[in-house]
Amino acid sequence: MSKRALKTYLSKLPKKALEEQIVELYEKFPTVKTYYDFAFNPKEDKLVQDAKAKISNEYFPLKRRRPKARRSVAQKFLKHFIKLGVDPHLIADVMCYNLEIAQTFSMEKNVPDSFYRSMLNSFNEVIQFTTVQGVFPEFRERILKIYTETQNQKWLFEEEFSKALDIID
């Protein structure tokens, strides 16, 4: 069904039937429930704090012994936040936090080369996102601090990190 056909169909429905369909969608599909829960009660700060706690737990687990250090956990939160329409400042904050916690982790542990490649991807994404959303000036200092730390720790792909910053200049 096309969007146009859907609009035609919905415009012909009585208000009561439309309300019933929306309630049914809300009950059947978790994504619809999540959307409406966020739309009517956007607790963005709580969502961000939960995301940061789970990201931190990936690198410094409270219950298990070994850290998993998966970038995908942060990526799932970021994708979800973008889909919900969370404030770009908060999304950029989580992006930076992910890199900062990874840097803290890499100071203490021996990490594989793939870790550095993954963090390079995250670094490129935070620069691109903040630039596109127009919030880069607010995060410039923090991003530069992350870059400096990659140089201090002598992360692999130093040149690629540098090239990522060259894009904004």
Decide if 70 is inside a domain: yes
Domains of the chain: total: 1
pLDDT in tens, 124-153: 999 999 999 999 999 999 999 999 999 999
Q: What totals of helices (H) and strands (E) does the chain contain, helices first?
A: 9, 0
Domain annotation covers residue 20: no
**C-alpha to C-alpha distance for 61 and 71, rounded to whole angstroms:** 15
Position 53 in a domain = yes
How confident is the model at residue 127, as a pLDDT?
96
In 3D, which of 163, 66, 35, 155 has the Cα closest to residue 107? 155
Q: Rounded to whole angstroms, how far apart are CA atoms 92 and 89?
A: 5
The reply to whether 27 falls in a domain is: no
Q: What pLDDT was estimated at residue 108? A: 87
49-74: burial string, b at 16+ Cβ within 10 Å, e else: eebbeebbbbbeeeeeeeeebebebb
pLDDT per residue as tens digits for the range 152-166: 999 999 999 999 988
Q: Mind listing the pLDDT tens digit for each residue in 49-69? A: 999 999 999 999 988 888 999
Q: Indicate yes or no: pTM above 0.75.
A: yes
- Would 95 be classed as within a structural domain? yes
Q: Domain span at residue 133?
A: 42-166
Mean of the per-residue pLDDT values for the chain? 93
Q: Is the pLDDT of residue 169 over 80?
A: no
